[in-house]
Amino acid sequence: MSRISPEEFEALLRESVPFAAGMDAKCVELSDGKAVFRLPFRDDFTRPGGTVSGPLLMALADLAMFAVVLSAVGKVEMAVTTNLNINFLRKPAPVDVIAVARMLKLGKRLAVGEVELFSDGDPDMVAHVTATYSIPPR
């Protein structure tokens, strides 16, 4: 079971991470060690060719991984990204983006996870992310 609900996570973003909240990503699913997010398409997200901008994919992946970490350690913790690596695989279509994040390893100090990004309705991954969060001493 997740230690934080989708509603609590979205409220946390609105309070304390206005930039991320501004993307208006929706937490579709949040269980212990797994999160699914949907980023509703907006015209200002595009870059030439009608595709979703790379930095938005990175921001969405970082957000999804943040939720996965909080699902495991709870809302009280302050966790920060230490490393993020993204491979852009295919040009995303001008539609919603779906992010599927899962924990690969939850350690005492570091949490490592993987995020797969898709254009809504298309099974071909548009980008693949791995990210590491540092977890403060508990």
Nearer to its own copies, 84 or 93 (CB): 84
Tell me, residue by residue from 98 to 127, as one string, x for binding to its own copies by CB under 8 A and - for no binding.
Answer: ------xx---xx-x-x---------xx--
Task: Tell me which of 7, 22, 31, 40 binds its own copies, using CB under 8 A.
Answer: 22
Angle at 36 between CA 32 and CA 38, to 5 degrees: 155
Residues 77-106, buried b or exposed e (16+ Cβ, 10 A)? bebeeeeeebeeeeebbeebbbbbbbbeeb
Q: Minimum CB separation from its own copies for residue 87, in Å?
A: 5
Q: Contact at 8 Å (CB) between 97 and 119? A: yes
How is residue 109 annotated by DSSP?
Answer: S
Cβ neighbours for 43, distance < 8 A, ≥ 6 positions apart:
none
Task: Tell me which of 16, 24, 28, 122 binds its own copies, using CB under 8 A.
Answer: 16
Nearer to its own copies, 44 or 138 (CB): 44
Residues of this chain that interact with its own copies (CB under 8 A) are 16-20, 22, 43-49, 53-56, 58-59, 62-63, 78, 80-91, 104-105, 109-110, 112, 114, 124-125, 128, 130, 132, 134
